[in-house]
Amino acid sequence: MKIIKNKRKNIFANINLSEVFILKYMKDMPSEALKLYIYLIYLETNQINIELETIAKEINISLKEIKASFDYLQEKGIIIMMEEGYYLVDLQEKEVMELYTPKVTANKDMLESNQKKNNKREKTINDIESMYFAGNMKAEWYKKIIFWFEKYNFSNEAMLGIFSHCFSEEVKPIAYVETVVKSMADKGVITIGDLSKQIVNYDKKLKIIKFVKTELNLYKALTKPQERIVEKWIFDYEYDKEQIKLVIDKTVNAQNAGFNYLDKIITEWHQQGLKTVEEILQYEKENKEKLEEKKKEKNSKKSTNNTSSNNTENREQRKYEDFQVFDLF
């Protein structure tokens, strides 16, 4: 019997009984099941793998009672049986999930449906272990995957797809996968179709963020507000690298040309209904011509004013000179 748990050796380690177990499950539990559960915690804590016959001998109950106790613990949702062994459920996490899950009355069809769903999920978890962990997935992964299934209601195909996406190049830590899982859930992903669309968007966002950082010579990760600005350019305005490069090139010599300044220009393009590079270039060309025309007009007025001022000065100078000549006589 295999315990799905992190490999860890403890000598005379303490074992912990959950307060939820003591208050909710222990009082009605048959003594054989109670003995078995406490012994399973001991085995998990010390990472010991032994056969059912040995367990029966160690806690002094029959093999028949051992099997019945396993069935009881699984029925109560305290453990989950799998082909390769069993998994101890995090009862505190389970309690939180039950508190925030709407209560419904179970009937035979619902129970059968739930059993089928659990069987499919078990197969999915086994596939993930086989494909991405070489058959040696740690217990924390099991706990997280089951939790993600329950909390976010992913389809089996979507869960496999998330792991395929995250592990496409190398094994990722659990924190990384959890970030992706939460991101996909926030975007309403449930089915593989939802996931495929979001993965395309996710990959596109990462590529454009990398492009923007390179173009702006940024070496640190973008802040969350900066990421949201880039997302707006991509998904709300539907601009790609070509349009974004135009605004970066336009502001390359501008002082304090931060993200807000770039965003102001791109938002103006969007508000003007500009989509293609050609439309933007034409718009910028016309704006430049208008600015040059205004500049010429301003310079022309300035020149006229200067000429008028010079004429006035010349007349005053001549009057002064005439006065001087008259005075000499």
pLDDT tens figures, 136-175: 888 788 888 988 998 888 999 999 999 988 888 777 888 8
Separation CA 148–CA 185 (nearest Å): 9
Tell whether 69 is covered by a domain. Answer: yes
Identify whether residues 99 and 110 lie together within a single domain. no
Identify whether residues 65 and 83 lie together within a single domain. yes
Q: Which residues of 278-312 are buried (b: 16+ CB within 10 A; e: fewer)?
A: eebeeebeeeeeeeeeeeeeeeeeeeeeeeeeeee
Identify whether residues 131 and 74 lie together within a single domain. no
**So what's the pLDDT on residue 243?**
92
How much of the chain, in percent, has pLDDT values that exceed 70? 78
**So what's the pLDDT on residue 253?**
63
Look at 299 and 175; give whichever has higher pLDDT: 175
25-29, 39-43, 104-108, 272-276: least confidently modelled range: 104-108
Tell whether 14 is covered by a domain. Answer: yes
**So what's the pLDDT on residue 47?**
75
Number of domain units in the chain: 2
Here the tokens at position 152 are 């976010």
| Residue span of the structural domain in which 71 resides | 1-103
Look at 216 and 328; give whichever has higher pLDDT: 216
Task: Please identify, among 190, 210, 241, the residue that sits at the C-terminal boundary of a domain.
Answer: 190
pLDDT tens-digit readout, 54-91: 888 999 999 899 889 988 888 888 887 765 567 787 77
**So what's the pLDDT on residue 329?**
28
Over residues 120-141, mean pLDDT: 87
Task: Please identify, among 83, 103, 123, the residue that sits at the C-terminal boundary of a domain.
Answer: 103
Tell whether 216 is covered by a domain. Answer: no
Separation CA 20–CA 29 (nearest Å): 13
Tell whether 219 is covered by a domain. Answer: no
**So what's the pLDDT on residue 1?**
55
Task: Please identify, among 190, 212, 231, the residue that sits at the C-terminal boundary of a domain.
Answer: 190
**So what's the pLDDT on residue 109?**
62
Q: Give the closest residue to 76 by CA, choosing from 36, 25, 123, 113.
A: 25
pLDDT tens-digit readout, 215-269: 888 888 888 888 889 989 998 999 999 999 998 888 876 555 678 889 999 999 9
Identify whether residues 99 and 24 lie together within a single domain. yes
What's the 3-state SS for 67-109?
Answer: HHHHHHHHHCCCEEEECCEEEECCHHHHHHHHHCCCCCCCCHH
Confidence of residue 316 (pLDDT cuts 50, 70, 90): low
Confidence of residue 52 (pLDDT cuts 50, 70, 90): confident
Which of helix, strand or coil describes residue 3?
strand
Here the tokens at position 47 are 């990472």
**So what's the pLDDT on residue 24?**
85
**So what's the pLDDT on residue 107?**
57
Report which residue type is found at 180.
Answer: V
Confidence of residue 111 (pLDDT cuts 50, 70, 90): low
Tell whether 298 is covered by a domain. Answer: no
pLDDT tens-digit readout, 271-284: 999 999 999 999 98
Over residues 292-299, mean pLDDT: 80
**So what's the pLDDT on residue 321?**
45
Tell me the DSSP string of 13-45.
------HHIIIIIGGGS-HHHHHHHHHHHHHHH
Query: Which segments of the chain does DSSP mark as H helices, in order?
Result: 19-20, 31-46, 52-59, 63-75, 91-99, 108-132, 139-152, 156-166, 174-186, 192-215, 224-231, 241-250, 259-271, 277-328
Tell whether 222 is covered by a domain. Answer: no
Identify whether residues 84 and 120 lie together within a single domain. no
CB within 8 Å of 152: residues ≥ 6 apart: 181, 184, 185, 189, 190
Tell whether 44 is covered by a domain. Answer: yes
Which of helix, strand or coil describes residue 2?
strand
Q: Is the pLDDT of residue 105 over 80?
A: no
Identify whether residues 54 and 97 lie together within a single domain. yes
Q: Are strands 85-88 and 2-3 parallel, antiparallel or unpaired?
A: parallel
Confidence of residue 101 (pLDDT cuts 50, 70, 90): very low
Identify whether residues 164 and 147 lie together within a single domain. yes
User: If you search the block for the tokens 């001087």, which residue do you land on?
Assistant: 324
Query: Which CATH number do you get for residue 32?
Result: 1.10.10.10
pLDDT tens-digit readout, 174-210: 888 888 898 888 888 888 888 888 888 888 888 898 8
Tell whether 144 is covered by a domain. Answer: yes
Cα atoms in the 13 Å half-sphere on the side-chain side of 210: 6
Identify whether residues 127 and 144 lie together within a single domain. yes
Cα atoms in the 13 Å half-sphere on the side-chain side of 326: 6
